[in-house]
Amino acid sequence: MITFRDHTPVPRLGQGTWYLGNDPGREQQEIQALRTGIDRGMTLIDTAEMYGEGLSETLVGKAILPYEREKLFLVSKVYPFNAGRKNIFRSCQQSLDRLGTDYLDLYLLHWRGRVPLMETVQCMEELVKEGKIRAWGVSNFDVEDMEELFRLPQGNHCVVNQVLYHLGDRGVEYSLLPWLKEHGVMMMAYCPMAQGGTLRRGLLNNPQLKQVASNHHLTPTQALLAFTLQDPNVISIPRTGNPEHTVQNSQVAGVRFTDQEMELLNQAYPPPRCKMPLNMV
């Protein structure tokens, strides 16, 4: 657990839901995967109105039915084009309805769009006052975006920036992560085990990663996830619709790599030495 600036406790290892809910034939398995995570302490569940145009939120709503709402930490995200006064209140309510809850623990602007940040901040603050959300944040914001946000009245109420982060994409470590730490904003890592394809295959077959994984009796995939949790300012939200994989994800919660092991990983995938463009998936 970590705490936001307002002392709200937040699990550092949660569950993502991108692509979940899209296939009716997999619904029961995906629900069981989410429930398995909740039962193992992964009570933070991240979703978005974009995911399946609400289908993921609906799936999460079904998955959380047996649980006490107060023991969960629900996160959703608003489309940039819905993040202004015209649409955000309806979007938020629709997300709440699909989730079957009357409040979100955290509501994020999914990425920057044309709606002025000032307007989005004002609307987020109104949602807090109405009790619809308990806190708000952003996603896919680079340093310049965060600086602009923090210059606005109440812009510093932002508690999270959700960005792409894994061993093979460490660009945020150069300036964004240090900036977030300095300003008391948590970083939430999406795709912590990388997307499929050549990059992921290369990561999983890397001899240094395999060695570090073996040291802790982990699979290379588990070691990838554990890497994102080495920094105490980072929350990680792996996504899976497979209950067995959920169990594997949960097993990395307390894993700490030694300095020597981190050096091995640094040799294989060096930390950035200059400012890198912020990647998105």
Catalytic residue among 51, 79, 165, 269: 51
Q: Are 137 and 160 in contact (CB under 8 A)?
A: yes
CB-based contacts of 199, cutoff 8 Å, min separation 6: 168
List C-alpha distances in Å: 261 to 113, 143, 204, 214, 265.
40, 29, 16, 11, 6
| Distance between CA atoms of residues 142 and 133, nearest Å | 24
Quick check: is 103 catalytic? no
| Distance between CA atoms of residues 219 and 221, nearest Å | 5
- In the three-class reduction of DSSP (H, G, I as helix; E, B as strand; rest coil), residue 129 is classed as helix
What is the identity of the amino acid at 194?
A
Q: 248: which 2 tokens?
A: 């594997």
Sign of CA dihedral 208, 214, 219, 222: negative
Which residues does the annotation mark as catalytic? 51
